[in-house]
Structure 1
Amino acid sequence: MFKDVNEKLLDHSHLKPGQNASLLSYDKTIHMYRENVKKTNDLNIQCDFAIFLVEAAKRSNRSSISRNDDKRVTIHKYIVEAEKLLKQVAMRGHSEGQYYLANMYAAGLLKINNNNQHVGDFDKAFPLFVQSAKKHHPDAAYRTAKCYEDGLGTRKDKAKAFQYYRKAATLNHPGAMYRLGLAEMKGELSLSRNVRDGHKWLKRSAEAATAQYPHAIHELALLHEKGLESVIFQDHKYALTLYHEAAVLGYAPSAYRLGCCYEFGKLGCTIDPVLSIHYYSLAAEQQHPEACFALTAWHLVGIPKVLLPSDGQAYFWALRAAQMELPKAEYAVGYFLEMGIGVPTKDVDAAMVWYQKAAEHGEKRALQRLQPFNDNKKKQQRKSTKYEKRKSYSGTSSSYVSASTDTSFPTMTASSAPNIVVNSVNSAQATMNKPTISKRRSFISISSRSNSQSSFIQKASSLFRSK
């Protein structure tokens, strides 16, 4: 929510106290900075100091291991002091001060709910965004448009949203140009669908792209990968170049797409497992679920002389993706737990929990895995019911003993119950088809593993991945 503030705002050059400034404690630095600010009426310096206080509070909050009461009080004092100073600056028409104060309100730095959580206060943020936007602040114009589109601090108004997106776009804001591009191409914001104009906005946004707004580059890559009508031509080489540009800016979807290209040889790429893992890893670091799951398959089979097979790492990445509610990853975690891949011991009960989650999210294979266990559970319940009925008919302890030792009617004991579940797992596994490992991984050798474990790995790598 916050606009990135350049590191120069934390530069002590504002103070000009002499050559020993870098040796001062942080609190003393802030104190000296404050005294210098009191001596000037320069709105830019006052705004910079307020931003400095906020960033100092944020850094102190992140770096503090044990957040004691004194630390909380200090952080709160910095935030309150910054708010007071920014209000004074904003009232005098300083657009950057208005925008930054609005961002503070929107980010919830100054409002805490009953659960002690920070919540955005758009009722205060929106008017400040509007004031700053009227002074041609590009970020403020963009945020004003978002507020109108999403109804934050004001009623929803598509016409007003378009007006401020257009204003921000004329100020070369990449996010605003990207939003206009999508709106033109999809007929949103009460606009008529116009692919040609939408493409123009996306190209302008891509030319002005930053690490914060790389989205247009990826969108253009998708369009040129497939082509669209007679306006956007199909060009795989150009699409690949755009994916690389977005990945350099740290955009996870583009990095993931490159990982797929180098794994499967798409868009004219030569298959390169090392580059595939590199780009998957870049995306996975940003919590991209598909990328996390893609690393699961690579860790299962490994790469000769590059990446050793590791069931533990495969399970780790599958679990990461499953925790982000990716259905096929939830199914994979269940399979690993059921078969004992990457975990110390098999855990059928935990596997059933993950299969259930995957089934609820639409994973059909999970339903197939759940079926034999559900059938077995019903069978056990029927046997238990028969046993209870037979026990009720027995009038003496001798008849009970006779019934319990009758081989034609086995009893359910603590030692036999788990065996029934395990036998059911083995039976279900034995009836499954045993697909060979995917052709794209045929160059990987897994012969060093035991036959049974290799069978599980082959199934995992072929069942869990799809082109």
Structure 2
Amino acid sequence: MSIDQQRAPSALSGESLYADALNTPPTPQPPTPTPKDKGKQRAQSTSPGNLQNASLGNSPSRPQSAAWDQSWLAGSPLLETNAPAKLMNQGHLKPGTHASLLSHSKTLELYRQNARKSQDPSIPFELAMFQLEAARELDPTPTNHADPNNDKDREELIKEATGILSRLSSRGHTESQYLLADCYSSGIGTLRGRQDFDKAFPLFVQASKHGHPDACYRAGVCLENGWGCRKDNNKAISFYRKAATSLHPGALYRLGIAELKGEMSLPKRPKVGVKHLTRSCELATEEFPHALHEMAKLYEKGVDNVLFVDLDYSVELLAQAAELGYAPSAHTLGECYEYAKLNCPQDAALSIHYYNIAAQQDHRESCFALTAWYLVGSPGILPQSDTEAYLWAVKAAEQGLAKAMYAVGYFTEVGVGTPADQRASTNWYKSAAESGDERAITRLKQNGVKVDHLPQSDSSGKLSKRSSTQKDCIIM
């Protein structure tokens, strides 16, 4: 007997159940079995062929005869072979003649009506969140220039939303306290759009008393930096630890760095710091990917008596952080695959891929790295384009990168990717020189441009450490 013959058909199988019912003629009454017949029935009931009927259940209201088991299906619509198949999708549905999406104004009005009727604080809280989201969509963008009407509508939405959150906060609604504090710390609903930590910090503290992990972390950040309060490392650590007990990745990361380097009046304990960082890596999110990058650097060099050097794992951690959109990790991987660092092979496609991830986050070094790639191109991967090289150099220069400013000045002077323009070229050279780029200073002198108020250089022609540091601070 084959395996297929030994395997009993499922009692829930529609095909086998319906086939048995159709092939077996129903009888009005089962014959009365004798004791000898009962013994045969018990023996047959354990055979694989009869497992189907046995699995139907031995309900007292259902006869055990196979004929009765199937006759109760007679006349059922399930046995009608000509019956149309059931529709298992919504393809037959057609859009209504009056169907349409609600506009923002109508949706807001429905939210307002529900908020007035309901005693549940979550309803007005959702209204406030919807209003803040609607206000964010009215923010001016490069493609959507500021519109006076949009500005007015935006201010009205923010004013109403913060008013709702303020009322809910006074009643002890934790989520409202945190969201309102976040608005104040971001300059939303404040005077002239400035950050107001004097209002935000007390709300963070209030929400933290109800065990809100993000509020605990943000209160710790305020205390560490003196935002809206006096600096107090001990209290900051207390809030960080409270957030860490709720497995907040940001709090675990900050405690890990503090223990690793002995910051915030904590003793230097690398083993404890690595433990916190490892836990933060396991909980990393797009908002808090920092521990992955830090642990990658630790595995690159190792930590005495704590971590061994593991370059492959370091690259793996960098890749995880890059996939979460963390620009420094993506840029590091771009360099690794461009110059074959950290045991990575030279791979133009991967290098460009990771540089692009970082450049989309306005990482200036990655933007300038793409300039270099577009200047030379990569066969089958990236076409050579002077125009793209110029545009990426401009983007890096606008972020304050001195060597990118010099490159844009050179492109503009020679006409690479853009028409030559001596006046614009001189302006870019001046910006680069003011940021400390020696080549720009030399170029200006060669072009006969008077150079004043630039960083002082030593006898070797290099910028002095003091001047370079001052300019770096201005750039940052």
TM-score (norm 1): 0.71
Letter in 1 for 2:219: T
In the TM superposition, residue 92 of structure 1 has moved relative to its aligned partner by 1.7
Whether the aligned pair in 2 keeps the contact of 1:318 and 1:333 (CA below 8 Å) is yes
Which of 80, 101, 111 is equivalent to 1:23? 101
Match of 2:437 in 1: 363
CA distance in 2, matches of 1:61, 1:340: 36
Counterpart in the other structure of 1:268: 343
Cα 1:301–1:68 change in 2 (3 A) is closer
Q: 2:168 aligns with which of 89, 92, 113?
A: 89
Conserved 8 A contact 1:21-1:29: no
**Equivalent residue number for residue 236 of structure 1:** 311
- Residue 106 of structure 1 corresponds to 185
Q: Residues 193-235 of structure 1, C-alpha deviation per residue, up to 9 Å, x if partnerless?
A: 2211111111111111111111111111111122233322211
Q: 2:256 aligns with which of 167, 181, 198?
A: 181
Cα distance in 2 for partners of 1:265, 1:281 equals 18
Report 1:262-411 matches (<5 A).
262-345=337-420, 347-374=421-448
Question: What is the aligned partner in structure 2 of residue 45 from structure 1?
Answer: 123
Deviation of residue 66 (structure 1)?
6.3
Distance 1:74 1:340 in 2: 45
Q: CA deviation at 1:174?
A: 0.9
SS in 1 for 2:342: coil
In structure 2, what is the equivalent of residue 422 of structure 1?
none
Report the CA distance shift for 1:131/1:22 in structure 2 as closer, same or farther (over 3 A): farther
Q: Which amino acid aligns with 1:283?
A: A
Mark the CA change 1:329 to 1:109 in structure 2 (over 3 Å): closer, same or farther: same
Q: Which residue in 1 is equivalent to 2:286?
A: 211
Provide the C-alpha distance between the structure 2 equivalents of 1:312 and 1:74, rounded to a whole number of angstroms. 40
2:299 paired residue number: 224
Aligned counterpart for 1:121 among listed residues 196, 199, 212:
196
In structure 1, the partner of 2:8 is: none
CA distance in 2, matches of 1:108, 1:28: 28
CA distance in 2, matches of 1:69, 1:350: 33
**What is the CA distance between 1:374 and its match in structure 2?**
4.8
Cα–Cα, structure 1 residues 232 and 79, in superposed 2: closer, same or farther, change >3 Å? same
**What residue in structure 2 maps to residue 78 of structure 1?**
157
**Greater C-alpha radius of gyration:** 2
TM-score under structure 2 normalisation?
0.70
Query: Residues 333-363 of structure 1, C-alpha deviation per residue, up to 9 Å, x if partnerless?
Result: 2332333322322x44443433333333333
Letter in 1 for 2:430: Q
Q: Which amino acid aligns with 1:353?
A: N
Partner of 1:140: 215
Give yes or no for the alignment of 1:245 onto 2:320: yes
Q: Which has more helix, going by share of residues? A: 1
Seq. identity, % = 50
* Distance in 2 separating the partners of 1:43 and 1:376: 67
The Cα offsets for residues 45-64 of structure 1, whole Å up to 9 and x where unpaired, read as: 23222212221222244689
CA distance in 2, matches of 1:199, 1:374: 56
Q: Cα distance 1:354–1:59, how it changes in 2: closer, same or farther (>3 A)? A: closer
| 1:337/1:59 CA distance change after superposition, 3 Å | closer
Letter matched to residue 130 of structure 1: V
Secondary structure of the corresponding residue to residue 23 of structure 1: coil
Length, aligned pairs only: 355
Q: CA deviation digits over 1:367-422, x for unaligned, max 9?
A: 44344345999xxxxxxxxxxxxxxxxxxxxxxxxxxxxxxxxxxxxxxxxxxxxx
Partner of 1:401: none
Asked if residue 197 in structure 1 is aligned to residue 272 in structure 2, the reply is yes
What are the superposed Cα offsets for residues 418-445 of structure 1, whole Å, 9 maximum, x if unpaired? xxxxxxxxxxxxxxxxxxxxxxxxxxxx
AA aligned to 2:114 is: N
Q: Distance between the aligned counterparts of 1:332 and 1:45, measured in 2?
A: 55
After superposition, the Cα gap between the structure-2 partners of 1:230 and 1:355, relative to the gap in structure 1 and judged at 3 Å, is farther
Aligned CA distance change for structure 1 residues 77 and 159 (closer, same or farther; 3 Å)? same
CA RMSD of aligned residues (A): 2.5
- How far apart, CA to CA, are the structure 2 residues paired with 1:139 and 1:267? 35
Secondary structure in structure 1 of the residue aligned to 2:191:
coil
Query: What secondary structure sits across from 1:130 in the alignment?
Result: helix
With a CA cutoff of 8 Å and minimum separation of 6, indicate the structure with the bigger relative contact order. 1
Distance 1:319 1:22, change over 3 A: same
Retained in 1: the 8 A contact 2:412–2:419?
no
2: CA distance, partners of 1:60 / 1:360: 37
How far 1:30 moved relative to its partner?
1.4
1:66 to 1:307, Cα distance in 2 relative to 1, 3 A: closer
